[in-house]
Amino acid sequence: MTTLIKSATIIDSSSPYHNQNKDLLIVDGKINKIADSIPFKNEYKLVEKENLHVSCGWFDTSVSFGEPGYEERETIKNGLQVAAKSGFTAVALNANTNPIIDNKSSVEYLLNKSTNSATKLYPITALTQQSKGIDLAELYDMQKHGAIAFGDYNKPIANDNLMKIALLYAQNFDGLVLSFPKNNSIAGEGIANEGVNSTKLGLKGSPALAEHIQIARDLFLLEYTGGKLHIPTISTAKSIDLIKEAKKKGLQVTCSVAIHNLCLSDDELHSFDSSYKTNPPLRTKNDIKALQKAVKSGIIDIITSDHNPIDIEHKKVEFSEAKDGTIGLESAFGALNTIFKLEDFIESITSKPKQIFGIESNSITEGNPAEITFFNPETEYIFNKEHILSTSKNSAFINKKMKGQVYGVFANNQLIIN
């Protein structure tokens, strides 16, 4: 298959064509030629779009689908199609399934289900057996069969010694350990950020302290053990300070932030819309400012959608009873491009996450495999239910103003265009 991409502005700081408008010819999945103008032939597939921009394929490091066990929320097949149409050529899939992904057979199941998709699936398996936080899962065995990291999704490891052992053990095979930043004994039954809004609304508060204590503990353990630690979806200004100091010490620690925590504050909770019930909870406007600043400075390494489909029976209920989570793949680019300049965040969804999770990143250069995202950074619109491609519709971004339209991807020798 030969694909011609006409008049595309290349956004890739690792490419010699960065910020240049070029034609790209892709032959059998590889970038064959990049030039000012390449003649079109009838046998070519043509990609020609208004204000077309291309970048290295985007990678989302925290995605949930449901399958196996919760197919009513999202199947792997449809989830990967949603990811491709949302601009992502790779996703890291969380282990919040039934059964939990905690052995090599379940890793192989995920990989087999995703074989022919344009978007590549990378499993993040459970750190502990059945994500119960008691015994370590078969980490080395799972990594040999395709796992890229280990973490109990949205479940903190309460046992300090277990986390210490995990960090020590994973060093034997250069494994990446994830630790969700929440101390349950401090957070208690809190369902909203502890503060003015939770008090006004009568919602049980989850203090930011619960996040800080867990991060501080994990950083002390990392300093003692060595190894690699990734802290997913931080949400407060103090968390940034803790991680910044750890990086200054030379510790191998990285972190991510969810897009909804970058854009939405706990002021949204006045509607009691359960789409805004997330874990970690939406925080204050001051936290948002600090998180955005940390993305620009590079203290926060990765931006994720933290896409988490929840079926209507578990979301369209009283706020306190609803399950945590919002979908985010479809709204990811539009939301980010609204609050940041393109150069402020593009590496946080391309090269940086791939480097941290040990995935090859192919720059837009002749001879390289084509793994490309197509988009227009200027289109403005209101995000509504018509833009949702996921089976579940629990989006925190409904009726929010967006900037930027995703056209699709070229990956795995497949062209997916909206």
**Which are the catalytic amino acids?**
306
- Residue holding tokens 């995000």? 383
d(CA 382, CA 398): 8
DSSP state of 204: P
Strands 120-125 and 88-93: parallel
Greatest distance between any 2 Cα atoms in the chain = 65
d(CA 362, CA 183): 38
Q: Closest Cα to residue 386, out of 376, 398, 400? A: 398
Residues 6+ apart with CB under 8 A from 184: 156, 158, 210
Provide the CA 386 distance to its chain's centre, in angstroms.
22
Strands 372-382 and 401-411: antiparallel
Residues 6+ apart with CB under 8 A from 404: 333, 334, 336, 337, 338, 375, 376, 377, 378, 379
* Token pair in block for residue 266: 């706990």
Cβ contact 256:185 at 8 Å = no
Q: What is the CA radius of gyration of the chain?
A: 21
37 burial class (0-12, 13-18, 19+ CB within 10 angstroms)?
A: exposed
d(CA 326, CA 414): 28
